[in-house]
Structure formats: structure tokens, C-alpha cells
Structure 1
Amino acid sequence: MQCEFCLNTEGIAHSDETIQEYDFKKALRFLEHNKSQEINKEIRCNKCAATFQLTPYSISSNCPYCHTPAITDFIKEITPQSLLPFELTQEKAKEKFKLWIGSLWFAPNKLKDFVEGDEKLQGYYLPHWTYDSDTKTHYRGQKGVIYYVMVERTVIVNGRQQRVQQREARINWTPISGHVQRSFDDITIGASKTISHSILNSLTPWYTQNLIPFDERYLSGFEAEEYTIGLDNAFEYAKMKMNKIIEQDIRRDIGGDQQRIDAMQTSYNNTTYKNVLFPIWTAQFKWKEKEYHYAINAQTGKIVGERPYSIVKITFLVIFTLLILGGAFYLEESGVYLQTNTHFS
């Protein structure tokens, strides 16, 4: 591990300690009777002796005067017991950002040359919750089986009406019910409000098999936070993620050609959690007086963010598409087209 300010390198011994999961229901009962108070944290810099404040949820930052790393105590009831260290350096993150900007469709032509947000790139250890859960879901739905019938239609060929037989698809729906089971492992949900929820939760996947035991020395030189989205609230987001997968399981269980899900009820059992810190590079750039935020997964290099669009390029595409459709319509009018009259045999 190397400090970005003094370039001092310090090795951290590898630990074979097992990363633990914690009981979800026990934690909720504990949190009911243990509420932390948010207080502003005042820190005295060990190097320049300046005094400065951190926000209640911040646990690591740099002195605003001399940039010396500063780490403070946790105040939340649940503290992180593991983390993923930074794999992507700041220089590599800058390169990722430039490639991303250059690859954006319908972006303004001068955007790549103009943006300077990478100069403000900041490394964060942001809190996440991970959840394991065994689920069982009862459902009611309908199975659709496609069959075909022959119908008689009237068509116009070169200005003359003709009667033709055509095959038409129909669906036969049958009520069905059943249950499916699935075990989930490490469903990850961001627990910070520093970055928008949509950006933070789009940085997946996180390779949680590479988690290491928490050591505050990894935080040195980076911003780090405690969770601001609680264990119970984050689990609601986790259930939404799990339900999308469960719906796919139900559709497979229903079978047929098409499926309808009328109702589903899921129980979540043996649920466990981890409070972890994940490494993220984040910054913003300004374009035409508006700020755009982006973040980079510092383990995989995946980048997600907001971006501007070129109205000129989009307008040109719309006009071009309309011209193509207009040409196709003209060709169809001069050839063969179907009337809406339909007669069933």
C-alpha cells in the first residue's frame, strides 16, 4: 500500500481470517435497543496541528490544509468487518474515464477535449450491505400455449382485391399455481448517499470472494464512510433484486410459450448479512453549466455515470429515421399492403 501524498509504502500482512456472516434478525433486534447519535467529529491533524470537522458518517479523510490522512472512530452500531482493497490506481482510473467519455453515443463533439473532471478524481471506501437468504415463493399464474388457425383475409395486389388464407397465432391460457425455491448469496446493496443510488448499485459485480478482514490502514489517504442506509431499509432493495430472479424461476416453472404471474408470496429464511467497504473512484465534470457525476468500480474498472447528449445529433437521427420510414411507406404503397378487413374461416 502506497500513500499518494508522501509516496511512503507500507506492507500489510495477509490474513487468512474467515469472513463472517451475521444473523439478520438478531441484528434488527439489537438495533431496536441501540440507537447511535449523529455528532460532528472534530479532528486535530497530527502533522500541522490544524483542527477540522468531519461529517457524522465520515471515518476517514485528509486534512484540508496539509492533506495528511486522518482516521476517526466509528459511531454506528454495526461496523464493517471486511473490505475490498483498491485494485485500480488513480492513473488507471483516469484512463478509464477518458475511454468512457470517448465511447459515448450522441455526446457533444467537443466533450472529450473539454472535460477536466478526472483532475478531481477522489477515492472512496463506501459502505455496502451484502445479504444471503433462502427463499421459498408460492405463486399463482397462467400458462399460455400458442396454437394456430387459418383465417381468410382480403389483400390488394397491384390495385386488385384478392382473398387469401393466412395462418394466425392464438394463445390458450390455463390457470396454474406452485412454488419455487432459491438460495441467494451476497446480494449487494449500496449503503451510502454520497453517490446516487442508481449509480452506486450499477457498479456491480463486486467479487466478494476476495474480501479481506477490515484493517483501518487500508483507509489511509482515502475518504471512507459509515452506512447512511440502514440494514432493514437496504434489505428492501435486496428483496427487489431477488424478486426479479424469482420471477424468472416462476416463469420457467410455469412453462409453456408465454407466462402470466398473477400473485407471488415469498418467505426469506436463514438471512444473514455483512457490512463491508467497497473501493470507488468518483468525480464530476461540468458541461455547459451543469455538473455530471460518475463513479468507477476500483476493483473491476467498470464505470457508470451521468452524461450530456448532443441535441444536434439526436435531431439528425430522428430526421434520418423519418426519411427512411417515409421511403419504406412509399414503396409499400406502390406494391402490396394488407387491408384491415379480416374474415375467419
Structure 2
Amino acid sequence: MTFDPDLGQLKCSYCGRDEVMPKVTATKLRATLQEHDLATFIHTNRTQIAQLAITAQAVNCPGCHATITFEPPDVAGKCPFCTTSIVTQEAKPADPTLAPSGLVPFQIGRKVALQNLRDWLAFRWDVKDLKAIFLPGQLKQLAQQQALLGIYLPFWTYDAQTQSHYSGERGTHYYVTRKTKDGSQQVRKTRWRSTSGHVSRFFDDVLVPATRALDSKKLQQLWPSLPVSQLKPYSAEYLAGFQAQRYEIPVKEGYGQAKGTMENTIRSDVRSDIGGDEQRIHSVSTDYSQETFKHILLPVWMATYRYGGKTYQVLINAQTGAVMGERPVAKWKVVLAVAIAAIVIITLIATATG
């Protein structure tokens, strides 16, 4: 049996029999998704070490070296990251790792995801997506042939209480009158005053991708925040029919990335606390406490295609259906658009001066 995103339960593709997933009580959800103490794990590295599933198999891609985990009866025929053929005979039982606390199940099925991909690769007039205007016409036919691979990607989430002390300057605008040949004009100036203060913020579920196989910025755009309401306690049944990648970025390294996100928000808080019309920040010193983390899996449909001798990769958020990736442009369309724009500008100028 495999997990069917459209039904939200297990289904046999041969006889059609389905099986409802166990109901999750609020108490069980809180217990399963509890945070792990960061300092304790970094020093002991023994928090909930387990296998993804008893029958889970793992294989290393010979192309990009990513470790792919799959749950029989699924097979790892091609690597979802680089499309290199994987010899499943070389698969072995998955090594124990930090067990995920939870996951967001696949909610967008293959059929809907493929239609989203076709729409994204199709030519259309869209002022919000200008690149769609310059897409090669052949992409529409190419999209009909694309195979999608469903994979759970590893993420970390981090919590922390922060207390930040800062020093800086508050700038207040004022205006002076300056005489000119034509009379006078108002000139804006800034009066600066030294200031210092304190801001605090609790960060909850700062999301950090734990894979090196994909661009982290693209993944953060695809998953800008954790959909807490969609989280389920981890269960191997959700992996049936899909692949999963084990985390490649260690907990401590991921926390360093999370701190970068936190620091940007803290500096924004500092600017707001300084007030005035302009702000200068000289120093910010932050103390971190109540530092915790958890490991989760998020679902993605992936497609890799070749066009014009170049490989392009597309990711589809399997919870929202959002598409993120790379697309080629038809150069002749760009040249034509520039030529038309030039003609229009020249015509307008000639009309205005005629």
C-alpha cells in the first residue's frame, strides 16, 4: 500500500483497497512534536536516534552523492536531484539517524502537481510573471512528457528567547531655508542623537533546510514558514510510495543559519525601538536562551528537464502547489520585444517633435 495524497490515506494500487490513517489527538501531537534541547543534543548527540522505518532502504546517488531513502514497494530508479540512474540492488537498510518529530504529508497529488508544472511552463501574458511571455513554445510539449518524483526533504526548526542590548543614533529631520538666485528653498538636514536600549523577542519555529542538494534560498522561498497546522506526528506510512532524503546539514550548523535569520529580525526591532526618521546602529549584543530544535520532513514534487543542452530543475510545494524553479527564454522573443519597444519609443518621439 502507498500513501495517496488525494485521499489522505493508504491505498493499494492493485485492488483499490484503502486504509484510513490513525487519528491524531491533540495530546499525542504535542507529545510527538516536542522540542529537543539544543545544548544537550550538541554535547551528547543521542536524542531520539532511530530508523525512518524498519523496512526503509537507503542508496547513495553516484552523481550528486545524496543519500536517498525509500520505503518498499517504492524503488529509487532515478535520483530526484540530478536524474542519475540509481542501482537499487546496491540499496541497504537505512542507517539510524535523528528521527523526525513530524512531517507535513503530501496533499497535492501527482496529477494536480503535473498540471501546475504544465501551466508554469506554458506561454501566457502575465504582468506578474514576465518571463512566461518569453518562454519557448516547445516547453508546452516538453511539460507533457515530464515525470514527477515525490520526495520528503529534511528541515530543522529552531526556537530561542533573545535579549539584545544596542547602541546607536536617532536621526530627526529638520529644514532650513537657503537663499537662491530665484528666491529661497527648503533644505532637509538631520540632527543625530546618541541612544541605547534593549529589545527582546521569542523566535518560534525558524525554518532551515537541512539538505545541500538544493539551493537553500529557493527552498526558503518555496517554504517561507512552517505550516504548523498541517504538521503530523512522524509515521513511516506517510513515506510509502515516496522517497526521503536524510539530513546533510548538522544541527549545530543549521542553528548558525537560523541565527542569521534571527539577527536580521533583531536589527529590524532595534531600528523600530530607536525611532526617529533615520537610524544608525553601532552595536548589538544578543544573549540566547531556551534554545531548542526539532527535525521535520516537508513534501516536494521534483522535475528535472533538459532544454538547449542545459538542465533545469523545478520544485513544487506538495502542500500548497506553488512552483519554484528555472525556465529558459526564447532569445528571438526577447529581441523582438526590444525591437517593438524601440519602434514605439521612436514613433512617440517623432510625433511629439513633429
TM-score interval, normalised by the smaller of the two chains? 0.7 to 0.9
Are the counterparts in 2 of residues 94 and 118 from structure 1 also a CA contact under 8 Å? no
Correspondent of 1:57 among 61, 67, 73? 67
Runs (5+) with no aligned partner, structure 2: 1-8, 78-87
Residue of structure 1 equivalent to 2:199: 180
In 2, the alpha carbon distance for the partners of 1:179 and 1:92 equals: 49
Are the counterparts in 1 of residues 169 and 279 from structure 2 also a CA contact under 8 Å? yes
In 2, the alpha carbon distance for the partners of 1:4 and 1:199 equals: 34
The code of the aligned residue for 2:163 comes to: K
Once the two structures are TM-superposed, the CA of residue 218 in structure 1 deviates from its matched residue by 0.6
After TM superposition, list the pairs within 5 Å mapping 1:317-332 onto structure 2.
Answer: 320=341
In 2, the alpha carbon distance for the partners of 1:99 and 1:310 equals: 17
Once the two structures are TM-superposed, the CA of residue 151 in structure 1 deviates from its matched residue by 2.3
Are the counterparts in 2 of residues 117 and 284 from structure 1 also a CA contact under 8 Å? no
Q: Deviations over 1:126-153 (max 9, x none)?
A: 1110111101112222211111122234
The code of the aligned residue for 2:21 comes to: I
Flag the structure with higher strand content: 1
Q: Deviations over 1:2-52 (max 9, x none)?
A: 45854553321112212211101101011399999xxxx996xxxxxxxx9
Q: Deviations over 1:109-137 (max 9, x none)?
A: 41542433872211111111011110111
Question: Helix, strand or coil: the match of 1:284?
Answer: strand
Are the counterparts in 2 of residues 3 and 221 from structure 1 also a CA contact under 8 Å? no
After TM superposition, list the pairs within 5 Å mapping 1:15-54 onto structure 2.
Answer: 15-16=24-25, 17=28, 18=30, 19-31=33-45, 53-54=59-60
| CA RMSD in angstroms, aligned pairs only | 3.6
Please identify, of 84-93 and 202-211, the stretch whose mean Cα deviation from structure 2 is larger: 202-211
Larger-gyration structure (1/2)? 1
Q: Deviations over 1:295-316 (max 9, x none)?
A: 1111122222122234455556
Q: TM-score, normalised by structure 1?
A: 0.77
User: Residues 32, 266 of structure 1: CA spacing in aligned structure 2 closer, same or farther, 3 A cutoff?
Assistant: farther
Once the two structures are TM-superposed, the CA of residue 227 in structure 1 deviates from its matched residue by 0.6
In 1, the alpha carbon distance for the partners of 2:110 and 2:303 equals: 12
Are the counterparts in 1 of residues 313 and 326 from structure 2 also a CA contact under 8 Å? yes
Residue of structure 2 equivalent to 1:138: 165
Residue of structure 1 equivalent to 2:130: 105
Correspondent of 2:156 among 114, 117, 129? 129
Are the counterparts in 1 of residues 158 and 291 from structure 2 also a CA contact under 8 Å? yes
Structure number with the bigger relative contact order (C-alpha 8 A, sep ≥ 6) is 1
Correspondent of 2:314 among 284, 287, 294? 294
After TM superposition, list the pairs within 5 Å mapping 1:131-280 onto structure 2.
Answer: 131-154=158-181, 163-204=182-223, 205-280=225-300
The code of the aligned residue for 1:169 comes to: R
User: Residues 115, 263 of structure 1: CA spacing in aligned structure 2 closer, same or farther, 3 A cutoff?
Assistant: farther
User: Residues 283, 131 of structure 1: CA spacing in aligned structure 2 closer, same or farther, 3 A cutoff?
Assistant: same
Residue of structure 2 equivalent to 1:80: 100
Are the counterparts in 2 of residues 60 and 72 from structure 1 also a CA contact under 8 Å? no
Are the counterparts in 1 of residues 118 and 144 from structure 2 also a CA contact under 8 Å? no
Are the counterparts in 1 of residues 170 and 274 from structure 2 also a CA contact under 8 Å? yes
Residue of structure 1 equivalent to 2:23: 14
In 1, the alpha carbon distance for the partners of 2:216 and 2:157 equals: 15
Are the counterparts in 2 of residues 117 and 285 from structure 1 also a CA contact under 8 Å? no
Are the counterparts in 1 of residues 157 and 294 from structure 2 also a CA contact under 8 Å? yes
User: Residues 271, 150 of structure 1: CA spacing in aligned structure 2 closer, same or farther, 3 A cutoff?
Assistant: same
Please identify, of 17-26 and 52-61, the stretch whose mean Cα deviation from structure 2 is larger: 52-61
User: Residues 247, 324 of structure 1: CA spacing in aligned structure 2 closer, same or farther, 3 A cutoff?
Assistant: farther
User: Residues 312, 260 of structure 1: CA spacing in aligned structure 2 closer, same or farther, 3 A cutoff?
Assistant: farther
